[in-house]
Structure 1
């Protein structure tokens, strides 16, 4: 399948930013999104801009080394985090970072990542990594993520937010949205008195069924194509 054009990717990336804002996954200037372009370049959101009002022309093009090629302003301050993902995972085409309220609250409370509560968690999210707290906008962030990037498509950043990887912008955004929905279930279950995970055997059956249907890899990660 041919790679979408830059114009198409600009529109898709802006649509993801609007979706994140509409779902209350980001607010104000929070969050950052990127995707691969051709010839070793990336399309990224600008720094400090309210994402719901972004236009396609507001996005910046950078190299995989982080050098700005074109666009006004500065790339997101979390660009090193995005660069680390693309360097570690050549098959990843899009990265979405947001601040989902319930999922972040779980990290503040010290609750475990909600990756074994519901079938959709196992299938869509896979095993969720929990990266230790790192100062946002610094080299601490990619360093904290480095041990997990090779094995996880969804990562919680302690007291900071969440990171979702995907083969498309839509897939990465789907994972972020699913993470927050599952986190809400975990929160509500705890409020009601119990939050029991699916037994490991049940998780294996869910993954096996999804794998047979072509929906996921055996470890809960989307199959490579």
Structure 2
């Protein structure tokens, strides 16, 4: 890859990442300095949001490039305090090229209430989210968090972090964003159903039929 094409790829990734952050903010999936987003630029280079800023108003030049150890190799800001979580996910999942961490209000509220992850209520939950991993509470910005996620990362594209937020992995930023947006929408369905009186999951056989219709394999037994 030439230096010119690398620069063009970097510019495109920056524009897409900034737009993803704006969409997260517009949909109330993050607020104030919450959340962080990253994209894999190459085997040892990752573009990540800076720490301590409102991600809804980022400029492409504010983004930071880090290596696999977390060292900043380009940019003047400080990388997200949740960078260790992102790097752990990339190390565990070579297929993942983009990560979105947000604080979806309803989905997080369900973890506070001790409600199971809403991954089997409606067809879009089964197809878009897959089985949702639920990580126990871990102190944000510390090594506790990647350690809590480590057993879950190989098996889940969407993870709920108890009393904290959610992590969506994707082959593209668009896919990771769609998973985060779908998580919150399905969580709202779960809350509304509970308020209406009952929130029953789809039977396992129905989930498998939905997955088959979408060309996906059946779920493994839990």
TM-score for both structures, normalised by structure 1: 0.93
1:165 maps to 169
Distance in 2 (CA, whole Å) between partners of 1:74 and 1:219 is 42
Distance in 2 (CA, whole Å) between partners of 1:101 and 1:15 is 21
Selected match of 1:41 from 41, 45, 56: 45
Selected match of 1:185 from 184, 189, 196: 189
1:55 maps to 59
Selected match of 1:77 from 69, 78, 81: 81
Are positions 1:6 and 2:5 aligned together? no
Selected match of 1:146 from 138, 143, 150: 150
Q: 4+ residue stretches of structure 1 with deviation over 4 A?
A: none
CA displacement at 1:219 relative to structure 2 = 5.0
Unaligned runs of at least 5 residues, structure 1: 212-216, 221-225
The Cα RMSD (Å) is 1.3
Unaligned runs of at least 5 residues, structure 2: none
Selected match of 2:71 from 58, 67, 85: 67
2:139 maps to 135
Q: How many residue pairs align between the two structures?
A: 214
Contact conserved, 1:126 with 1:219, CA < 8 A, in 2?
A: no
Selected match of 2:198 from 194, 200, 211: 194
Contact conserved, 1:133 with 1:157, CA < 8 A, in 2?
A: yes
2:98 maps to 94
Contact conserved, 1:208 with 1:218, CA < 8 A, in 2?
A: yes
Contact conserved, 2:82 with 2:140, CA < 8 A, in 1?
A: yes
Contact conserved, 1:133 with 1:158, CA < 8 A, in 2?
A: yes
TM-score for both structures, normalised by structure 2: 0.94
Distance in 1 (CA, whole Å) between partners of 2:55 and 2:194 is 32
Are positions 1:31 and 2:44 aligned together? no
SS at match of 2:185: helix
CA displacement at 1:38 relative to structure 2 = 2.4
